[in-house]
Amino acid sequence: MLSKEYVDPELGSVILSKSAVSRRISIRVHPSDGIKIIIPRSLSYDEGLRFFMQKRDWVIGTVEKQRKKIADAVEQGKALRALGNGSTVRTLMSEIIFRRDDSAVHAVKSEAGPMVRTGKIGSENGKTEVRIQICAEQVEDVKSSGRTWLSLDRPLFRKTLTYSGNPPEEGSPALDEVLRRMLVEVLRNEAKIILPRKAAFFADRFGFSVGRVTVKHNSSNWGSCSRRGNINLNLNLVRLPEPLCDYVILHELCHLRHPDHGQGFHSLLEKLCTDNIVRLSLTEDTYVRKIISKINSSRSAHPVHKTLEREMKSYRLI
């Protein structure tokens, strides 16, 4: 896709992209992808820029609304703050803690010792090396406790990510960037353990035939289903409360039988989500109780999955 950049004095980078399939000019404003002006190939970039200028006040308002939603999500723990020393991220498996150690000696990776990863980030002087050591401590052994459910409030492991070497200044976007890359690696490893097992559990419970289950790091969706019966699941799902993680998986499984979002899809999804909420209601998770209370007050024709769908909209991908 051909594109040009326009730098707005208030909004920053605005990408003008030519499209062979678009029939009219459109504007897309995304929290992570930024502002894009989609222009039919038959029109000029200047025409696209003029259209943007006509809609500029609307774009500014939309950006401000998105920023407020993100700020609210951060306050509620549904989006991440900038990562740095002392930052904590909770998943269905772990409590992940970031620690800075300026005195740390470069360790040598060994089979017996903790994992060591090295990240490269941009700086004014070229590339800065940051070493991150990951140490995992088991908090609960489910084989002994017998717990069969997962909770953000009851981690199975405590993982400490200690970063050293020559890290950037605390609170800087450069430090946040490299720590997020390491966090994504940790989330990916956990997602590969949790998500395929959950998909297999629900497929067996409800009689679905699933192809390949792939864990991905998408910036625009929580999951997808292909015509071949393969399911893609976002690694960010392990950052969600278990009812919401399960909801996305059940949503994609339902698409194996109903590729659209028609009445058949909604009826099936409501049935499966209801079954799962009943199953989770037997656990001690406080979030499940909150969800059940919201379901009971819903006036929707599909109260269970519509309540879960609304909850999903307040969480932010990384």
Q: Using one digit for the tens of pLDDT, what is the confidence trace for 222-258?
A: 999 998 899 999 999 999 999 999 999 999 999 999 9
pLDDT at 309 over 70: yes
DSSP type of residue 313: T
The set of residues, in sequence order, having a beta carbon less than 8 Å from that of 196 and lying 6+ positions away, is: 213, 215
Residues 300 and 236 in one domain: yes
Q: Indicate if the pLDDT at residue 52 is higher than 80.
A: yes
Terminal C-alpha separation, the chain: 25
pLDDT exceeds cutoff 70 at 208: yes
Task: Specify whether 179 is located in the same domain as 207.
Answer: no
Q: What is the reported pLDDT for 103?
A: 75
Mean pLDDT of the chain: 89
Q: How many domains does the chain have?
A: 3
Strands, E, within 205-304: which ranges?
213-216, 223-225, 231-234
pLDDT band, residue 205 (cuts 50/70/90): very high
Is the confidence at residue 87, as pLDDT, over 80?
Answer: yes
Query: Could you tell me which residues come within 8 angstroms of residue 138 by beta carbon, excluding any fewer than 6 positions away?
Result: 156, 157
pLDDT digits (tens, 9 = 90+) for 140-172: 999 999 999 999 999 999 999 999 888 888 989
Q: What is the pLDDT of residue 1?
A: 63
Which of the listed residues 136, 157, 190 is the one where a domain comes to its end?
A: 190
- Describe the chain by its helix, strand, coil percentages, rounded to 5: 40, 25, 35
**C-alpha to C-alpha distance for 124 and 140, rounded to whole angstroms:** 44
**Residue 117 in domain:** yes
Does 256 reside within a domain? yes
> What tokens were used for 238?
């392990």
Return the percentage of the chain with pLDDT > 70, whole number: 92
Count the Cβ atoms, other than its own, within 10 Å of residue 266.
16
Q: Which two tokens stand for residue 254?
A: 């339902």
Residue 153, Cβ neighbours under 10 Å: how many?
11
Provide the token pair at 60. 């500014």
Query: What is the DSSP secondary-structure string of 124-138?
Result: TTEEEEEEEEEEEEE
Asked if residue 205 and residue 171 are part of one domain, the reply reads no
Kindly report, residue by residue over 61-72, the tens digit of the pLDDT: 999 988 887 777
Per the structure, the complete domain to which residue 275 belongs is given by 197-312
Q: Each residue of 103-138: pLDDT tens digit?
A: 754 444 434 445 555 555 544 455 667 888 899 999
**Stretch 71-97: mean pLDDT, rounded?**
88
Domain for residue 318, yes or no?
A: no
Q: Is residue 281 part of a domain?
A: yes
Q: Are residues 122 and 201 in the same domain?
A: no
* 22 and 114 inside one domain: no
Q: Residue 31's pLDDT band (boundaries 50, 70, 90)?
A: confident
User: In the sheet that 26-30 helps form, which strands lie side by side, from edge to edge?
Assistant: 3-8, 12-19, 34-40, 26-30
Q: What whole-number percentage of the chain has pLDDT above 90?
A: 73
